Amino acid sequence: MTPRERFIETLTFGKPDKVPLMPGGPRESTLKRWREEGLPEGKHYYSALLEILGIEEEKTKPQVDLGVSFKMIPQFEEKILEHKDGHYIVQDWMGAIVEISDQYDFTYLRYAKDFVTRKWHKFPVETYSDWEEMKKRYNPKTPGRFPEDFEDRCKQVQDRDYVLSLGINGPFWQLREWCGLENLCIFMIEQPDFVHEMVNFWANFVLEVLRPILDRVKLDYIVFSEDMAYKGHSMISPKMVREFLFPAYEKWIPEIRKSGCPIISIDSDGYIGELIPLWIELGINCCTPIEVAAGNDIVEFRKKFGKNMAYIGGIDKRAIAKGGKTMEEEVMRVVPPLLEDGGYIPGCDHGVPPDISWQNFIEYTRLLAKLTGWIK
What is the structure's pLDDT at 110?
76
Give mean pLDDT, residues 347-370.
97
Q: Return mean pLDDT, the chain.
A: 96
Give mean pLDDT, residues 117-133.
96
Band the pLDDT of 59: cuts 50, 70, 90. very high
* pLDDT at residue 112 greater than cutoff 90: no
Give mean pLDDT, residues 344-364.
97
pLDDT tens digits, one per residue of 8-49: 999 999 999 999 999 999 999 999 999 999 999 999 999 999
According to CATH, the topology of domain 3-71+126-371 is TIM Barrel (3.20.20)
Q: Where are the domains of the chain?
A: 3-71+126-371, 77-123
**Rounded to whole angstroms, how far apart are CA atoms 371 and 132?**
53
What is the structure's pLDDT at 216?
98
Give mean pLDDT, residues 47-70.
97
Taking alpha carbons only, the member of 252, 165, 253, 164 closest to residue 205 is 252
Band the pLDDT of 365: cuts 50, 70, 90. very high
> Are the C-beta atoms of 367 and 47 separated by less than 8 Å?
no
Band the pLDDT of 106: cuts 50, 70, 90. confident
What is the structure's pLDDT at 105?
82
Q: Any alpha helices (H) in the chain, and if so which ranges? A: 3-11, 28-36, 45-53, 128-135, 150-156, 171-179, 181-190, 192-216, 238-240, 246-259, 276-282, 298-305, 317-322, 324-341, 358-371
